[in-house]
Structure 1
Amino acid sequence: MTTRDSDTRAADSADAGGPPHRAARLARPSARPHGQWKIDGTAPLNANEEWKQVDDGLAVRERIETVYAQGGFSSIDPTDLHGRFRVWGLYTQRRPGIDGGRTASLEPHELEDAFFMLRVRIDGGQLTTEQLRVIAGISQEFGRDTADLTDRQNIQLHWIEVESMPEIWRRLEAVGLGTTEACGDVPRVILGSPVAGISATELIDPTPQIEQIQSRFIGDPTLANLPRKFKSAITGHPSQDVVHEINDVAFVAVEHPDLGIGYDLWVGGGLSTAPRLGERLGAFVSADRVSEVWHGVAQIFRDYGYRRLRNKARLKFLLSEWGAEKFRRVLQDEYLGYALPDGPAAPKPASAGDHVGIHRQKDGRFYIGVTPIVGRVSGPTLAKLADLIETHGSTRLRTTPHQKLVILDIPEDRVPSLVAGLDELGLSARPSLIRRGTIACTGIEFCKLAIVETKGHATRAVLELEERLARVEVPHRLSLHVNGCPNSCARIQTADIGLKGQLVTIDGEQVPGYQVHLGGGLASQDREEAGLGRTVRGLKVAADGIADYVERVVTRFVAERDVAADETFAQWAHRADEEALV
């Protein structure tokens, strides 16, 4: 998720759209090459880079439609299956019955089933009820009713067979949706403010910038072989509602004292096993230059990103080596051809970034943010939701980076009826603090990397904690993030309470459980500044003990917090003695 000064010949080659010529190299102090194209040349240094150079993945769709859809799962070339399919949003899912203790010891083909997770790409989270109904229909007809809202504003379906993909693509693309570059070493979905264009407090609507990047660069062959995934976020809302600190590139709305409203540029954020928050480059980007600046950062990643080792192939590692000053200089000198003006930082958010609840739009109508438990919905639920929204006079909704949904454009007199209907679907506009703040990754149910189940454990914990904490006056929102492995798809290091799935020893017995991270948070989560959570040596929780632990630590927080200072959970967790956290 995460080096050198300029070289004219290499820059010319990169700007032309292809890999820089191997002759255009610079000396480096390290004896071991990182696989940076502009320094080390383009010769692949591992098997993953080899197959990407043969065919980066965009072309595999034709084979899926003309060969594999006819021949079935057994006809799929292994390299296509485990590599190129990802570019079209397809991962093989975990075969049922394989426990978490075997995750690291089995080969991919031993872990996988003959079914796929399919990720529907939703840039900016923007959906119509027609599009939602199509996704619901695909879920019901091809995906055994599965549907999960992700924390990247996508919707994921499961149990998809390769034979169904031509028809699924036909249906999605007929309503303006798709799966192009939803996964893989490519530019992933572009996060956008869920209330773009409708919020009364918005500084700028980022929709035109998102659409320009999407139309110009998604599916662009020159960006289809990046070192690893490339995550982007753009928001014009003062709540900074796109978790910008953990994206490879992000644009956060800000008002410049001389140049007006534009964006503050961030780069190099990412979590996983080596978390690193992004950094401001101190540069102001006007709205009309967002797409070209985005393209410049993406090209830097392509040309200078580390490719030899997959676990060091995110942009955050390059930023760590270069620093923000050099990164900005290379961006300006080699890729933009002009200097970006200096700009101010955006002020600390004064409101929540998940948009849950009932809010007035700038046109007088209302948007309503709702919370399914841990992002789990279903095809039938989505179909009923589309009908419900339309009967209340709207055709628009948004997904969020917090596994939530926001329904737009509701007339004031229809709000109570809609809220009641949403409650019947399990989509609460007035959720408990713990339901509102809990997210969970896919977990062992479908994911080949997972060690522990997540959605079910988190759901049971939420329901128990709603009863146990009903009489506890928790003064601030609490975030509980549950992840099935160390890779942090559920952003465990940036939660008040983050749980990382692993096998743990409890009373001498090895059982599924979690390592605990405490006190993390991002700008939109009641934090003075973004920060990663702390760990306490030996602090682990059994998978069926989430509610017990959360009740215990939250009760201690309420009892011990500095009320006069309005201390948050994160602040308390970082100052508290370890004994208070176990």
Structure 2
Amino acid sequence: MYRYDQHDHQIIKERIAQYRDQVRRRLADELTEEEFLPLRLQNGLYMQRHAYMLRIAVPYGMLSSAQLRKFAYIAKTYDRGYGHFTTRQNIQFNWIELEQTPEILEHLASVEMHAIQTSGNCMRNITSDEFAGVAADEIIDTRPYAEILRQWTTFHPEFAYLPRKFKIAINGSKEDRAAIAVHDIGLTVVYNEAGEVGFQVMVGGGMGRTPILGSIIREFLPWQHVITYLEAILRIYNEYGRRDNKYKARIKILVKALGAEEFARQVEEQWADPKDGPATITETEFKRIASYFTHPAYVTLPEQNAEFSAHLAENKAFSNWVRRNVKPHKVAGYRNVVLSLKKPGVPPGDATTEQMDFIADLADQYSFGELRITHEQNLVLADVQLSELFSLWEAAKAHGLATPNIGLLTDLICCPGGDFCSLANAKSIPIALDITDRFSQLDYLHDIGELDLNISGCINACGHHHVGNIGVLGVDKDGSEWYQVSIGGTQGINAAIGKIIGPSFAAAQMPEVIERLIKVYLRERFEDEKFIDTVQRLGITPFKEFVYATPIHSTVLHGEDEYV
């Protein structure tokens, strides 16, 4: 994985010194909170309901075991013994004291990490496929390109104060695991007819108040020009993006207003001048960056292993875990292992100090000291030998990390919601816990099959509810917390935005609402048909009719029964 060079070290050292003085001035009341706000946001520090929250960048989701151990240390020393992994492949700590934040940044710098540009109106953390470099369906390893973009985006002076935050995702596999269609810029690595490497460029995707899927504005962009072309996109956005209304300031609104064809024309016109300028990536520079992403010391292994096959045949629990949590690898005899952070009774995406230390040990023992964060809020050991899967499973199970639910209903995405976030309209975590408790029976869960359930506590959609097969959005009704439900959303190659089924529900009704949606699916599905396929085939009407047919708990809303 990438290691800092002298420029990275110098940049981070200077930024920490600058920030330490800013904190000193704030604590001495030399800076007002209003003056301090943009300064702390540049360093990933938010004020939430109860305390400061620090968001740490994990570029394209890749971590070393040493970096994860540092997260564990921060959780134990400065927080309440846990961290929360996010849909941006980052980690958040929710109980941070302001005066301790410069120390935390020093600790992060010691393992080549920082919190820069994890908030504010700037280019955020570059995200990618969690299996980049090891995916069985990979076309091209995106990690060198993601690192080039990381370096380009860091402290870019021209784009430090954009109209709104800006998110870039990159994918290089047949399956889109980076959700590129709902990013401001989504890049897919492709080959042209001449066999040359380049990018398909998608612009204007996003969720929030106005969920929109991105539009393709260029089918093939030579890889050498990815920085200059993205600069052209950012310049159009920086000049014409709205700054008078933050709810209409994202690039998706500009692309929609101009139309994708006109936006693309303006980008091409803007790009004409810098196209072959100094930001053009040379072969030498690409090879330099790519050299950090060499393959680990794989050994030659057979694709099958007799001991593994015996465990698979004899142990149903192990077999279930392999079926859900173990993914194909491009190297024979190796597998990708997803460690579930969705154990029933635990807030989705949370990991304790002890768990993080233990996972770091697993990475050292089984996966060359590296791991990845998924945007579904789980962790991945990417290079596990087939023969070691059983011992890994036994160890992970003992630490609550082997729930066999990846891709199933209880592998749900959930933002911190109203328990922590000052922007939230409603709590997310209690809803997630109630639903996972309702569907804790594993045989039933496996019978339901693959289903994405995403929960957001507000319209900002940090829980990606718009692209959940079932999406849950917390809304405020006269000071009370209610939940709006949509179905039919999906991420990936065939991305779609879900449709709202009707009036919102009280918190206590949500498990039964999900149960009723599942009952319609089980009643109407064809053999081997997934939930999303059934919804797309039937539309939302049969689901809506069954959910609202009879009242649940006779919940009273404004003096009338709320039927669900």
Identify whether the pair has TM-score above 0.5, normalized to the shorter chain: yes
Aligned to 2:405: 431
* Partners of 1:213 and 1:433 in 2: CA distance: 29
Q: Secondary structure at the match of 2:368?
A: coil
CA displacement, residues 322-342 of structure 1 (integer Å, 9 cap, x when unaligned): 1122222221211344899xx
CA displacement, residues 9-57 of structure 1 (integer Å, 9 cap, x when unaligned): xxxxxxxxxxxxxxxxxxxxxxxxxxxxxxxxxxxxxxxxxxxxxxxxx
Q: Secondary structure at the match of 1:466?
A: coil
Is 2:424 the partner of 1:460?
no
Is 2:361 the partner of 1:387?
yes
**Which of the numbers 371, 374, 396 marks the counterpart of 2:370?**
396
Q: Does the 8 A contact of 1:357 with 1:429 survive in 2?
A: no
CA spacing shift, 1:393–1:239, aligned 2, 3 Å: closer
Q: Secondary structure at the match of 1:136?
A: helix
Aligned to 1:440: 414
**Which of the numbers 81, 84, 97 marks the counterpart of 1:161?**
97
Matched letter for residue 370 of structure 2: R
Aligned to 1:285: 221
Q: Does the 8 A contact of 2:168 with 2:183 survive in 1?
A: yes
Aligned to 1:371: 340
Deviates most, 458-467 or 261-270: 458-467
Q: Does the 8 A contact of 1:437 with 1:477 survive in 2?
A: no
Q: Please, which runs of 5 or more residues in structure 2 have no aligned partner?
A: 1-12, 277-323, 343-347, 549-564
**Which of the numbers 426, 449, 460 marks the counterpart of 1:487?**
460
Aligned to 1:47: none
Aligned to 1:558: 522
Matched letter for residue 485 of structure 1: C
Matched letter for residue 215 of structure 1: Q
Q: Secondary structure at the match of 1:66?
A: helix
Q: Does the 8 A contact of 2:60 with 2:126 survive in 1?
A: yes
Aligned to 2:141: 205
**Which of the numbers 200, 206, 213 marks the counterpart of 1:270?**
206
* Partners of 2:341 and 2:529 in 1: CA distance: 33
Q: Secondary structure at the match of 1:84?
A: helix
Deviates most, 134-143 or 436-445: 436-445
* Partners of 1:548 and 1:164 in 2: CA distance: 44
The 5 A counterparts of 1:239-254 are 239-254=175-190
Residue 573 of structure 1: how far off its partner (Å): 4.4
* Partners of 2:14 and 2:422 in 1: CA distance: 25
CA displacement, residues 462-498 of structure 1 (integer Å, 9 cap, x when unaligned): 132122x744774541111111122211111111111
Matched letter for residue 225 of structure 1: Y
Aligned to 2:241: 305
CA spacing shift, 1:557–1:248, aligned 2, 3 Å: same
Aligned to 1:530: 495
Residue 245 of structure 1: how far off its partner (Å): 0.8
**Which of the numbers 451, 470, 473 marks the counterpart of 2:425?**
451
Is 2:167 the partner of 1:231?
yes
Residue 580 of structure 1: how far off its partner (Å): 2.5
* Partners of 2:181 and 2:218 in 1: CA distance: 14
**Which of the numbers 34, 39, 46 marks the counterpart of 1:79?**
34
* Partners of 1:514 and 1:73 in 2: CA distance: 43
Matched letter for residue 395 of structure 2: G
Matched letter for residue 368 of structure 1: V
Aligned to 2:386: 412
**Which of the numbers 251, 264, 272 marks the counterpart of 1:328?**
264
Aligned to 1:176: 112
Residue 84 of structure 1: how far off its partner (Å): 3.0
Matched letter for residue 545 of structure 1: Q
* Partners of 1:465 and 1:309 in 2: CA distance: 42
**Which of the numbers 530, 534, 539 marks the counterpart of 1:568?**
534
Percent identical among aligned pairs is 27
Q: Secondary structure at the match of 1:88?
A: coil
Matched letter for residue 183 of structure 2: N
CA displacement, residues 523-553 of structure 1 (integer Å, 9 cap, x when unaligned): 25xxxx3221111332x22223322211111
* Partners of 1:393 and 1:563 in 2: CA distance: 37
Q: Does the 8 A contact of 1:452 with 1:501 survive in 2?
A: yes
Matched letter for residue 480 of structure 1: L
How many residue pairs align between the two structures?
Answer: 483
Residue 184 of structure 1: how far off its partner (Å): 0.5
* Partners of 1:217 and 1:410 in 2: CA distance: 33
Is 2:543 the partner of 1:580?
no
Q: Does the 8 A contact of 1:450 with 1:485 survive in 2?
A: yes
Q: Secondary structure at the match of 2:423?
A: coil
Aligned to 1:51: none
CA displacement, residues 416-457 of structure 1 (integer Å, 9 cap, x when unaligned): 111222222222362265455411111111100112221233
* Partners of 2:374 and 2:155 in 1: CA distance: 23
* Partners of 1:453 and 1:122 in 2: CA distance: 26
CA displacement, residues 41-88 of structure 1 (integer Å, 9 cap, x when unaligned): xxxxxxxxxxxxxxxxx9986554025247639665222443331121
CA spacing shift, 1:500–1:74, aligned 2, 3 Å: farther
Residue 259 of structure 1: how far off its partner (Å): 4.0
CA spacing shift, 1:219–1:363, aligned 2, 3 Å: farther
Aligned to 2:77: 141
Q: Secondary structure at the match of 1:386?
A: helix
Q: Does the 8 A contact of 2:26 with 2:32 survive in 1?
A: no
Q: Secondary structure at the match of 2:439?
A: helix
Q: Does the 8 A contact of 1:432 with 1:466 survive in 2?
A: no
Aligned to 1:218: 154
* Partners of 1:268 and 1:162 in 2: CA distance: 36
Q: Does the 8 A contact of 1:249 with 1:265 survive in 2?
A: yes
CA displacement, residues 105-147 of structure 1 (integer Å, 9 cap, x when unaligned): xxxxxxxxxx311111111101100111111111110011131
Q: Does the 8 A contact of 2:55 with 2:93 survive in 1?
A: yes
* Partners of 1:73 and 1:435 in 2: CA distance: 49
Matched letter for residue 84 of structure 1: L
CA spacing shift, 1:176–1:403, aligned 2, 3 Å: same
Q: Does the 8 A contact of 2:405 with 2:411 survive in 1?
A: no
Higher relative contact order (CA closer than 8 Å, sequence separation 6+): 1
* Partners of 1:172 and 1:459 in 2: CA distance: 32
* Partners of 1:167 and 1:81 in 2: CA distance: 18
State the Cα RMSD in Å. Answer: 2.7
Residue 167 of structure 1: how far off its partner (Å): 1.5
Q: Please, which runs of 5 or more residues in structure 1 have no aligned partner?
A: 1-57, 96-114, 341-354
* Partners of 1:75 and 1:461 in 2: CA distance: 48
Q: Does the 8 A contact of 2:126 with 2:169 survive in 1?
A: yes
Matched letter for residue 494 of structure 1: V
CA displacement, residues 400-421 of structure 1 (integer Å, 9 cap, x when unaligned): 1111211122222222111222
**Which of the numbers 459, 474, 477 marks the counterpart of 2:450?**
477
